């Protein structure tokens, strides 16, 4: 193997072609900015798909990781650990009171897998009801709930029983959920599907349907978690699910997942029903604890909600003819375009702003919670320039 290959060439040549590459090698981050291998600076409006909620190299987060790496990295959950216990206690104090028990894993898709297994075991049922355009992960259980055909079709014969209805359509949901349904699985705001916010009253009505049919209500807050001015987007609607799933920003960049359940569900789970070697390890727990402490100490829910509202106002004020719709909440915003999003993403990148797609037509902003109004202005002004 040639040692003269660039970072980008090595990345492409040594991995299977599973991702649409951006032609950029990111090597460093600081605050709300990322730097490539040539030293170019980019405003980060994507947070590594919603993960880096504290931005990059946050001092207290970095210090917590460094300290724990020098103390103890791994500890199976058959043993207690000080970092894990403190992290769980802090997270439990921020969750709705009904969610009393938390299973820790390593990613969003793992947290969804746990949620589905807990629903299946606690109800004795097997059917899932989810929504079209939903994204819940790509492992086999989570993929069963995912509503995108491009992810599902190659594995269609191996997936769990699931039916998908249009997001926001209560009549269709009511007709689909029956007495054999183990769980209704929803994102309170669809992320990959285009940043669609649940209509007013929708989540409460879904909970009523779940209770009537004896199904568990699962809210996937992997992407929405921490981004909407609250820990969970469902809190805006005052609706608590039976199972709440968190990941992405929970440890601000360190792999982690959490599946929070009611006491009733927790008590239905026997030893060996589920498990993980790496989940809840001290390193991830220390990073998660530092993340939650930073959110609370720096009042990031309030500040990010204010900047998110400002960002939405600035975007709406553009009144740009190439924009069809703008939607979202807090630091989770979708800009639906009248043409394909790829050229706009490329133009933003060439002008120092990194963003994401959410389908073929939607530009997605998932900035870190530390974003300032001045940085929001930069993002909007750059977008306006790229759109022309």
Q: Is residue 241 very low, low, confident or very high in pLDDT (cuts 50, 70, 90)?
A: very high
209/212 Cα distance (integer angstroms): 5
Q: Is the dihedral of CA 287, 292, 296, 301 positive or negative?
A: positive
Secondary structure element (H or E) that encloses residue 232, with its range: none
Percent of the chain residues topping a pLDDT of 90: 97
- Look at residue 5 in the predicted model and tell me its pLDDT: 61
DSSP class of residue 329? E
Tell me the pairing of strands 162-165 and 127-131: parallel
Q: Is the dihedral of CA 339, 341, 343, 348 positive or negative?
A: positive
Q: What residue ranges define each of the domains in the chain, with the CATH number in brackets?
A: 62-297 (3.40.640.10), 299-366+375-388 (3.90.1150.10)
What's the distance, CA 321 to chain centroid? 30
Q: On the CB side of 192, how many CA atoms lie within 13 Å of its CA?
A: 19
What's the distance, CA 226 to chain centroid? 9
The answer to whether residues 382 and 347 touch, using CB atoms and an 8 Å cutoff, is: no
pLDDT digits (tens, 9 = 90+) for 22-36: 999 999 999 999 999
Q: Is the dihedral of CA 38, 342, 112, 103 positive or negative?
A: positive
Q: Does residue 1 surpass a pLDDT of 90?
A: no
Please classify residue 101 by burial: count the beta carbons closer than 10 Å to its beta carbon, then call 0-12 exposed, 13-18 middle and 19+ buried: middle
pLDDT digits (tens, 9 = 90+) for 323-380: 999 999 999 999 999 999 999 999 999 999 999 999 999 999 999 999 999 999 999 9
- Look at residue 63 in the predicted model and tell me its pLDDT: 99
CB atoms within 10 A of CB 56: 23
73/80 Cα distance (integer angstroms): 13
Give me the helices (H) in 95-228, please.
108-123, 140-145, 149-152, 170-176, 202-213
The answer to whether residues 47 and 227 touch, using CB atoms and an 8 Å cutoff, is: no
* CA distances (Å), origin 64, targets 30, 223, 251, 309: 17, 24, 11, 31
Mean pLDDT of 269-288: 97
Give me the helices (H) in the chain, please.
7-13, 47-50, 59-69, 82-94, 108-123, 140-145, 149-152, 170-176, 202-213, 263-267, 282-297, 300-318, 342-350, 373-387
Residues making up the chain, counted from first to last = 388
């Amino acid at each position: 193997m040639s040692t003269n290959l660039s970072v980008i060439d090595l990345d492409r040549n040594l991995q299977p072609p599973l991702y649409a590459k951006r032609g950029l090698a990111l090597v460093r981050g600081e605050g709300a900015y990322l730097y490539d291998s040539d030293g170019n600076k980019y405003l980060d409006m994507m947070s590594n798909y919603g993960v880096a909620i504290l931005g990059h190299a946050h001092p207290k987060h970095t210090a917590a990781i460094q300290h724990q790496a020098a103390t103890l990295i791994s500890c199976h959950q058959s043993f207690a650990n000080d970092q894990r216990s403190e992290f769980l206690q802090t997270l439990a104090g921020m969750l709705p009171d009904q969610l009393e028990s938390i299973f820790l894993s390593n990613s969003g898709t793992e947290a969804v897998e746990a949620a589905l297994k807990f629903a299946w075991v606690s109800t004795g049922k097997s059917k899932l009801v989810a929504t079209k355009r939903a994204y819940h992960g790509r492992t086999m259980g989570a993929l069963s709930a995912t509503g995108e055909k491009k992810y599902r079709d190659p594995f269609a014969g191996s997936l769990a029983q699931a039916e998908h209805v249009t997001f926001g359509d209560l009549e269709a949901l009511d007709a689909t959920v029956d007495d054999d349904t183990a769980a209704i699985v929803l994102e309170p705001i669809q992320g990959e599907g285009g940043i669609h916010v649940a209509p007013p009253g929708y989540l409460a009505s879904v909970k009523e349907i779940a209770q009537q049919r004896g199904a568990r209500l699962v809210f996937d807050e992997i992407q929405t978690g921490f981004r909407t001015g609250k820990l969970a987007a469902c809190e805006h609607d005052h609706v608590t699910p039976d199972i709440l799933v968190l990941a992405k920003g929970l440890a601000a960049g360190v792999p982690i997942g959490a599946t929070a359940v009611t006491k009733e569900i927790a008590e239905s789970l026997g030893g060996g029903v589920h498990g993980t070697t790496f989940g809840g390890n001290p390193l991830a727990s220390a990073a998660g604890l530092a993340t939650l402490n930073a959110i609370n100490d720096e009042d990031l829910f309030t500040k990010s909600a204010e900047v998110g509202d400002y960002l939405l106002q600035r975007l709406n004020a553009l009144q740009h003819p190439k924009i069809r719709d703008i939607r979202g909440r807090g630091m989770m915003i979708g800009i639906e375009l009248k043409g394909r999003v790829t050229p706009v993403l490329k133009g933003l990148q060439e002008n120092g702003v990194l963003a994401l797609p959410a389908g073929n037509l939607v530009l997605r902003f998932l900035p870190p919670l530390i974003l300032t109004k001045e940085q929001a202005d930069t993002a909007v002004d750059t977008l306006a320039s790229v759109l022309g």
